[in-house]
A and B are shown apart, each in its own frame.
With several copies, the nearest count.
Chain A
Amino acid sequence: MSEPIIICRDVHKWFGNFHAVRGIDMQVEKGEVVVIFGPSGSGKSTFIRTINRLEEHQRGQIIVDGIELTHDVRNIAAIRSEIGMVFQQFNLFPHLSVLSNVTMAPIWVRKWPKQKAEEVAMEILTRVGIPEQAEKYPGQLSGGQQQRVAIARALAMQPKIMLFDEPTSALDPEMIKEVLDVMTELARSGMTMLVVTHEMGFARAVANRMYFFDEGLVVESGTPDDIFKNPQEDRTKLFLSQILSH
């Protein structure tokens, strides 16, 4: 077994008095694809956001690529530039062209010269299948295209880890596939990925491990085979039967 690139030990998070994440332990190896699923409000987003400190965890330990997340600004900056994140609502920057969306972070954070950043950006845009949209603005693209730009934007920083928070749930059915294809290709290329999703087809195809969250806890985890064919917990069974019935 190789070196774990993400180590979470007993991670807790409260919102006011509400205990949203109630002690998560997780280790992710380099190149692994981990899928997290569970009912709404179970703390999936909150947990995944603690990993790049969009939320601050209040107990436990998170170590990414050997660096522990503390209040230390340098660590936070270092970790964030190693992790790419893709959101449900795309969150592209509407005032910038697609190309500028993608090159912004490399230019300002990695300090690449603009030319290099643009070359890399075009490469990545080609990889996600939309090189011809580079000069457009996000408002002019379809949802699926926007989400692919968002993935490209994250990839442009050449991150070691990618986090996805329900990347397809705001999309129309015909666009879901184009985004999942890109993600599958990414997984195949050896990227370490943490994906919150309910696309079980995707999970079955590429996940190394799956975690089922409920009420801020990991109820069950295992390989897709374990989870789909042989779930141990009643809650898992119930939830799977609900989402697979669609």
Chain B
Amino acid sequence: MKPSTNPFSGSSFWSFWRDTRFLQALAQAIFLLLVFIATRWLIGNLLEALDSRGLSLSFAFLQRTAGFGIGEGLTFERTDSFWYAYVVGVVNTLRVIVVGLGLATIVGIFAGIALLSPNWLLRSIVSAYVEVMRNTPLLVQLFFLYFGIILKLPSLQERITFGSFSLSQRGFFFPRLEPMQSFTLWIVVVAASLLAAIVIFRVLYQRRLLDGVETRPGLWALLPLLGLPALTWLLLPEAPLSLDRPQLDGLRMVGGAQLSPEFAGILLGLVIYTGAFIADIVRSGILAVPKGQTEAATALGLSKFEVLRLVILPQALRVIIPPLTNQYLNLAKNSSLAVGVGYPDLYNVSSTIFNQSGQAVQVITLMMSTYLLISLAISIVMNAINSRLKIVER
């Protein structure tokens, strides 16, 4: 028996252009070529453009004197370099991101739980909050918050005060604890009493376990923990900590600590906005926990709060983390809107540096890489948490 056509015809090397492997390689080669041509064209244009106005691609300009001032963050002089200005911007951005992540999470968890509350009124108010925040642009919210609310607060002279706390359109001022000379001694005493308290607690606790008598370990441990530091405080000639109260000095408040309107604006804006998204995530995370879990836990006699803490939240967390990671990334990226309210963050400072130096390519590259790094860091941390929390399956 012989096949009617030679089975080898059509398969020999000369029809290589119909060979799947060749076609794949060809497609890639063409793609690479196109990318290469496009890149070359773009780079060529860039070089020409830079050349025509005498710019270079070097990052050396970062060493030059900045010449401008930065209102907030690390101390910055006009004689410092562009590079240091950039660092100040990065630190300011990180400040917003870190504090914002924490607060947004807290707001989100509470609001998320409230969304599931049996209380109709609370639920409605919170869901209105969530819907409004989710469906209006962050920038509009920021402008409203900053120009419409914060800047409409009374002026510094007419600030609202509660004791040493005060609130005005120049910011929120509050006292700060200032360590004095005797602070070192006192802190040693505190550490020692903490140690003592731990030892007492463990000893008494063991006794309770072994002998079955109620020894009240907590109570006995509290005594040295609070008593010793208090005693030394009183005995020391000078209080180890003094309260540094903010005071009006001419145009500004000196002493104490303060929250600038810009920082407060971007922070609050991000927290309220991201909090709404997190609330929704928390809500669906909790809903994803089967009802039987609550019932089983309730039937065991756990209180509502314990059910939530021991059974619902740990399980909901596993559902929540991936979308939460996204929201964290969004918050980090949205922190760049700080420029809208004049907070000198990474984007704001970069934009100034660009304007003063004219070095568009370098500044943008630097800025984008920094944001990429921040995003990457958040992803890595969250992925690590996520893989540690995986539920063990069969």
- Whether chain A touches chain B in the assembled complex (some CB pair under 8 Å): yes
Chain A residues with a Cβ under 8 A of chain B: 1, 3-4, 7, 27, 52, 54, 61, 63, 66-68, 70-77, 80-81, 83-85, 87, 89, 91-95, 104-105, 108-109, 113, 115-116, 136-137, 139-141, 150, 153-154, 157, 163
Contact with A70, one of B4, B19, B298, B315 (Cβ below 8 angstroms): B19
Q: B302 at interface (Cβ–Cβ under 8 A)?
A: yes
Do residues A72 and B11 form an inter-chain contact, with CB atoms below 8 A?
yes
| 6 A-B pairs closest in CB distance | A91-B296, A81-B301, A137-B392, A105-B300, A91-B292, A85-B299
- Tell me if B191 is interfacial: C-beta within 8 Å of chain A: no
| Bound complex: CA A153 to CA B3 (Å) | 29
Are B301 and A67 within 8 A (Cβ)? no
Query: Given A67-B10, A70-B11: A105 and B301 within 8 A (CB)?
Result: yes
Whether the pair B302, A105 counts as a contact (CB closer than 8 A) is: yes
Do A83 and B299 have beta carbons less than 8 Å apart?
A: yes
- Given A68-B8, A73-B23, 13 other A-B residues pairs in contact with their CB atoms under 8 A: A52-B299, A63-B3, A67-B10, A68-B11, A71-B19, A71-B20, A72-B18, A84-B300, A89-B290, A95-B318, A137-B391, A139-B392, A140-B394
Contact B1 A76 (CB under 8 A): no
Q: B60: shortest Cβ distance to chain A, in Å?
A: 53
- In the complex, the answer to whether B18 meets A73 with C-beta atoms within 8 Å is yes
Q: Is the CB of A139 within 8 A of B11?
A: no
Residue of A nearest to B5 (CB): A66
Residue from the list A63, A80, A116 in contact with B300, Cβ < 8 A: A80
Q: Which residues from chain B contact A68 at a C-beta distance below 8 Å?
A: 7-8, 10-11
Docked-complex contact B7 and A93, CB < 8 angstroms: no
B393 lies within 8 A of chain A by Cβ:
yes
Residues of chain B lying within 8 A (CB to CB) of residue A115 = 209
Q: Is the CB–CB distance between B310 and A104 below 8 Å?
A: yes
Find the residue from B15, B209, B293, B301 having the highest chain A CB count within 10 A: B301
Q: Is B314 an interface residue (CB 8 A)?
A: yes
Which residue among B4, B7, B299 has the maximum number of chain A CB atoms within 10 Å of its CB? B299
Q: Determine which of B3, B22, B297 lies in contact with A66 in the assembled complex, contact meaning CB atoms within 8 Å.
A: B3
CB closest chain-B residue, reference A70: B11
Task: Check B311 for interface membership: any CB of A closer than 8 A.
Answer: yes
Question: Are B301 and A74 neighbours in the complex by a CB distance under 8 Å?
Answer: no
How far is B299's CA from A27's CA once the two chains are assembled, in angstroms?
21
Given contacts A1-B1, A72-B10, contact A91 B298 (CB under 8 A): no
Q: How far is the CB of A133 from chain B (nearest CB, A)?
A: 12
List B364-394 residues whose CB lies under 8 Å from chain A: 391-394
B391 near A139: Cβ-Cβ < 8 Å: yes
Q: How many A-B residue pairs have CB under 8 A?
A: 121
In the complex, chain B residues whose CB is within 8 Å of the CB of A77: 301, 303
Does the CB pair A95–B314 fall under 8 Å?
A: yes
In the complex the two chains form, what is the Cα distance from A67 to B6 in whole Å?
8
Contact check, A74 vs B18: say whether CB atoms are below 8 A apart. yes
Chain A residues lying within 8 Å of B298, measured Cβ to Cβ, are 54, 80
Complex CA distance for A97 and B314, rounded to whole angstroms? 13
Interchain CB contact under 8 A, A108 and B7: no
**What residue in chain B is nearest A74 (Cβ atoms)?**
B18
Partner of B295, one of A4, A54, A94, A153: A54
**How distant is the Cα of A24 from the Cα of B295 in the complex, in angstroms?**
23
CB pairs A–B below 8 angstroms (9 shown):
A66-B7, A68-B8, A72-B18, A73-B23, A93-B297, A94-B391, A95-B318, A109-B302, A153-B300
Chain B's nearest CB lies how many Å from the CB of A98?
Answer: 11
Q: Which of A73, A84, A91 contacts B293 (CB 8 A)?
A: A91
B306 interfacial by beta-carbon distance below 8 Å? yes
- Given A67-B10, A91-B290, A140-B392, decide whether A72 and B1 contact each other with a Cβ distance below 8 A: no
Residues of A within 8 A of B303 (CB): 77
Report the minimum CB–CB distance from B215 to chain A (whole Å): 12
Contact A54–B300 (Cβ < 8 Å): no
CB <8 Å contact, A94 and B315: yes
Closest to A115 in B: B209
Give the Cβ gap from A88 to chain B, nearest Cβ, in Å: 9
A3 near B4 with CB under 8 A, answer yes
Give Cα A84 to B299, complex, Å.
7
**Beta-carbon contact of B4 and A95 below 8 Å:** no
Residues of B with C-beta under 8 A to A116: 209
Q: Which residue of A lies closest to B4 (CB)?
A: A66
Given A76-B20, A80-B298, A157-B301, also A93-B293 (CB < 8 A):
yes
User: Min CB distance, B104 to chain A, in Å?
Assistant: 24
A4 and B393 contact, CB distance less than 8 A: no
